Amino acid sequence: MYRNIFLYSLNTSLNYRLQLLINASIGFIPSLGVIFVWLYIAKEKTIPGYSPEEIITYVLVAKLLQQALIPDFHWTMIEEIQNGDMAKYIVRPITHLHYWFSKESATIIVKSGLATVSLIPIYAIFFSNLVIPDIASMAMFIVSSSLALILYFLIYYLISLLGFWLVEIYAFIYTTDILIEFLSGVLIPLDLFPDRVQSILQWLPFHYMIYLPINSFIGKLNFTQFMGGICIQILWCITMYLAIKVIWHKAILKYNGAGL
């Protein structure tokens, strides 16, 4: 059943790929400032731990990866909670979490494909200034990105469950978006943060959403570091999943199906 949901969503997303591309392109505009800042710094300064090619690759690929992985389902989910449409999921023989994961993962796969295609002209323009990953780095990147996809989904699903208690949640979602963007290393590699902040961040899930996959991509991780990161990613996925189960149970007990 979830396979059919996935395939249907994949078909729908492929039909609207131009809209996805337009949305992704518009979402890329705010990053131009960050990219220009890093291009300037790479030319003028020495960046600790990164060569100019590595930092430029980091910034470009991090933003593309974030654009691909950040989900959209939470807006619909919150609307359904607040207007009473959640009832249709409760009476059906499906798990709400699994339903949305099947549906959203298809969209994310299409967005990832578009992001990969977008890399072609970027590499063509900036070829000599970018890192080309070897097969091992690419494999590590794919594995860590796949887990990052699950982590992104679970975190946004968990936040969306707040819609059962909060009426005005949209401002909170916007705030969360920018916090995650900053703390996951999209704007600045996390190893440039102050040491104390780094030591806290390495225990939070954000560290493994963008920073780990990108460092795999540019070949900065050895196999031991990569496996350590993967283990923590998996642990966070399990933690988020269990938290969702507990909060969902409490939310359904509260829910009356009439909308807020």
Question: What are the residues binding another protein (CB under 8 A)?
Answer: 22-23, 26-27, 29-30, 32-34, 36-37, 39-41, 45, 47-48, 167-168, 171-172, 174-175, 178-179, 182, 187-188, 192-194
DSSP 84: T
Q: What is the C-alpha separation between 113 and 25, in angstroms, rounded? A: 14
Q: DSSP for 90-152?
A: HTTTS-HHHHHHHHHHHHHHHHHHHHHHHHHHHHHHHGGGSPPP-HHHHHHHHHHHHHHHHHH
CB of 195 to another protein, least distance (A): 11
The alpha carbon of 54 is separated from its chain's Cα centroid by a whole number of angstroms, namely 21
Q: In the chain, what's the furthest Cα-to-Cα distance?
A: 61
Residue 16 or residue 174: which is nearer to another protein going by CB?
A: 174
Residue 44 or residue 134: which is nearer to another protein going by CB?
A: 44
CB of 76 to another protein, least distance (A): 16
Residue 90 or residue 260: which is nearer to another protein going by CB?
A: 260
Burial zone of 53 (CB within 10 Å; 0-12 exposed, 13-18 middle, 19+ buried): middle
Residue 147 or residue 187: which is nearer to another protein going by CB?
A: 187
Q: What helix, strand, coil percent values describe the chain, rounded to 5?
A: 80, 0, 20
CB of 145 to another protein, least distance (A): 24
Residue 51 or residue 222: which is nearer to another protein going by CB?
A: 51
Residue 33 or residue 259: which is nearer to another protein going by CB?
A: 33
CB of 28 to another protein, least distance (A): 8
| Beta-carbon count within 10 A of 63 CB | 24
| Beta-carbon count within 10 A of 75 CB | 13
CB of 138 to another protein, least distance (A): 29
CB of 202 to another protein, least distance (A): 16
Residue 5 or residue 56: which is nearer to another protein going by CB?
A: 56
Where do we find the tokens 């966070």?
Answer: 236
Q: What is the C-alpha separation between 142 and 192, in angstroms, rounded? A: 24
CB of 119 to another protein, least distance (A): 19
DSSP 46: P
